[in-house]
Structure 1
Amino acid sequence: MSKIDLVNISKTFDNKKILDNINFTVKEGELVSLLGPSGCGKSTTLKIIAGIIKPEDGDILFNDKSVINIPVEKRGAIIVFQDYLLFPHMTVEENISFGLKMAKVKKEKRIEKVKELLELVHLNGYEKKYPSELSGGQKQRVAIARALAVDPKVLLLDEPFSNLDINLRDTMREFVSNIQRKLKITTILVTHDKEEALMMSDKIAVMLNGKIKQFATPYEVYTNPASKEVADFFGEKNYIDGKINNSHFVTEFGNIPIYSRTSSNLHAMIRPEDVKIFPREYNNGPVGKIIKKKFAGEKIYYDIKIKDKVIKCSTDSINKFDIDSQVCICVDLEKAILYEKTEE
């Protein structure tokens, strides 16, 4: 296991800044996700950690020792790519033992290691099969076993589940999480899937436009996003205007205490799940009309027009309202977060 430190990492391609002063630490045995949209620099960061790409500035430390000048094959960081990259002409056991063979590990030890890993990834009996005979999930498990065979200091996963169907994706997420916890191997996962990062990670580094915008636990990132930019990345939100009066942000939905704000140009962010809707006759909040409804199994998503503003709400499927229904809403202001307004 290794602790990984990225220190002031920057990288430019074709005069475009891809990574801008990246800093974060992955503790021994942690699983950290690099989460962000395509093109934000996630995979470039992973390749820099592995040694495939060299940054213009900054350093990479494994257990407090710089590895910036250590080549890929000696660094001890192994990447599992989304396309698996298995050797098609090799059997499962040959694929898994390839790195060991290159390291000149004796045949007896290679056989023993392959057997151990096949058991770990639940592929006993598949030793003689070729990649073309395997399902997507089985190929992914072989790729992970091959990576683990050389006892890497850090396991790097580059969107490993994106080519799998949704049910298999869930299975593989759980499978990888279990292996990572069992082996306590330091792991960095690249993903653009918010749910994946929230479910699997000890920490999340939210990357936007080549910068780390927030580095925190999944709970902290979701419940207390560091900026409006981070909040918006996690899905649709409501932004409510108001006025400051006597250390409160006063809105038509109620008042929010202000503890330490210097700006007066604020608005409150409210998640759709923190907006409750009731039949019009309850008369216990602002009244509006449902203008849009989307059924999504366990959840129903509503757009509610209140005066000249649209409020988004999500409820469980038990609470059913029809388009054009008159409803009143109640906003859980204890969960509101105040942000300074920015120019759109």
Structure 2
Amino acid sequence: MYKIELKNISKTFENKEVLKNINLIINEGEMVSLLGPSGCGKTTTLKIIAGLFPMDCGDIFFGGKSIVDIPVEKRGAVIVFQDYLLFPHMTVQENIAFGLKMAKVKKDKRIARVNEMIELVQLEGHEKKYPRELSGGQRQRVAIARALAIEPKVLLLDEPFSNLDTRLRESMRSFVCNIQKKLGITTILVTHDKEEALMTSDKIAVMLDGEIKQFGSPREIYEAPNSKVVADFFGEKNYLKGEIENGFFQCKLGSFNTNFNKYTRVIAMIKPQEMEVYDCEKNQGFWVRVVSKIYAGDKVYYTLSIDDIQLKCVVDSRKVFEINQKVWLEIDFDRVIFFEDID
């Protein structure tokens, strides 16, 4: 398997810079997600790695060797698209064997490899079926088997679960992750689904506007975003401007203990799910008013108001509060993320 290095990759389409100096290191055997909204450059990056798009400048290394001048079929990377692109006139066996046939692998070895792949992706009994006779999940498994049959060093997945319903998507995520870990193949997954990236990846590269804004483990990305734009990508947050002095964060809500001391003028980012709400006074906190609520099964989304400030909060659905009810809000300012206020 290969370690992948992307160095200073840039790409422009029709005078629009879609990739801006992309640098990334993916270690051998890792599953890394390129996470971001549509149009941020994720799929372009994937196609450049595969050799399907040229880049304007930069370099790509597989196992320490530059592959920019190596043709697609010799790079050792294979890409699986979200539409699977199976041949409709070929059976499952024939689809999986296609790459092996193009590589002129001998028939007996080809048959053995196809059988091995069918067992790996659990499609026994479907060998003679055509794509139209398969479910969405089964077609995806065929596409993955076809990609893995040629024994690539790098697996590239372009939104592979986006065409599946919710239940099947969850099942296929787990299935693909198990295969990836079993084979130890270096894998890059392109996705716009935050939960998908957090659940499947060893590391995540958050891409916005053609740039990698942050690269790290799922826990690092989610719990310690390095900027407000990365934090906002993972959902709605609360922000409070203030100052830190002598171990206290001072803002419109009051003065609160904190261990943070890197900056003086700060913006505090408070996650809605990390706020505690009670119907009676507790320890450090303050009274707020319930402005709105949205029931969502095991959770309730509340908007809380104090003076001219509104705060979003998510609590367990067993805690039920009514509109206009006064409730006690507590915030642990040692768990708050502080960004420097440069305005």
Q: TM-score, normalised by structure 1?
A: 0.96
Tell me if structure 1 keeps the 8 A contact 2:244–2:261. Answer: no
Report what 1:103 is aligned to. 103
| Distance in 2 (alpha carbons) for counterparts of 1:248 and 1:177 | 44
Secondary structure at the counterpart of residue 90 of structure 1: coil
Give the CA deviation at 1:267: 1.2
Aligned AA (2:289): K
- Aligned counterpart, 1:54: 54
Question: Equivalent residue for 2:142?
Answer: 142
Most deviating of 175-184 and 299-308? 299-308
For residues 232-272 of structure 1, what are the alpha-carbon distances to aligned partners after superposition, in whole Å with 9 as ceiling and x for unaligned? 111010111223322532233623233322xx432100101
SS class of match (1:124):
coil
Query: 1 CA distance for matches of 2:189 and 2:124?
Result: 26
Q: Secondary structure at the match of 1:45?
A: helix
User: What letter is aligned with 1:332?
Assistant: D
Alpha-carbon distance, 1:287 to partner: 1.1
Where do residues 115-134 of structure 1 align in structure 2 (5 Å cutoff)? Answer: 115-134=115-134
2:59 aligned partner, one-letter code: D
* C-alpha contact (below 8 Å) 2:257/2:333 kept by paired residues: yes
Q: Give the SS at the match of 1:160.
A: coil
Contact 1:288 1:305 in 2 (8 A): yes
Pick aligned residue for 1:258 from 253, 257, 260: 260
Q: 2:64 is matched by which residue type in structure 1?
A: D
- The amino acid of 2:5's aligned partner reads D
Residue matched to 2:82: 82
Equivalences for residues 118-197 of structure 1 within 5 A: 118-197=118-197
Range 47-56 or range 248-257, more displaced: 248-257
Shift in Å, 1:281: 5.0
Q: Which residue of 1 aligns with 2:228?
A: 228
**1:195-274 superposed matches below 5 A:** 195-251=195-251, 252=253, 254-261=256-263, 264-274=264-274
Q: What runs of 5+ residues in structure 1 fail to find an aligned partner?
A: none
Is contact 1:35–1:207 with CA below 8 Å preserved after alignment?
Answer: yes
Alignment partners' CA distance in 1, 2:3 and 2:101: 27
Q: Which amino acid aligns with 1:128?
A: K
What letter corresponds to residue 218 of structure 1 in structure 2? P
Q: Partner of 1:260: helix, strand, or coil?
A: coil
Runs (4 or more) in structure 1 with deviation over 3 Å come to 280-284
Q: 1:301 to 1:288 in 2, by over 3 A?
A: same
In the aligned structure 2, how far is the partner of 1:247 from the partner of 1:272?
Answer: 24
For each residue in 1:296-340, what CA deviation from the matched residue of structure 2 results, as whole angstroms up to 9, or x when unmatched? Answer: 222111111111111111112221212222101000111111112
Distance 1:112 1:34 in 2: 34
Q: Aligned pairs, how many?
A: 341
Moved more, 320-329 or 174-183: 320-329
Contact in 1 for aligned 2:291/2:324 (Cα 8 Å): yes
* Cα RMSD (Å): 1.3
Residue by residue over 1:10-63, the C-alpha shift from the partner in whole angstroms, topping out at 9 and shown as x without a partner, is 000011110000001111100000000100000000000000011111000000
Note the residue ranges of structure 2 that are not aligned, 5 or more in a row.
Answer: none
Separation in 2 of the partners of 1:342 and 1:223?
Answer: 22
Displacement of 1:120:
0.6
Structure 2 counterpart of 1:13: 13
**Cα distance in 2, alignment partners of residues 126 and 342 from structure 1:** 60
Query: SS at the partner of 1:269?
Result: strand
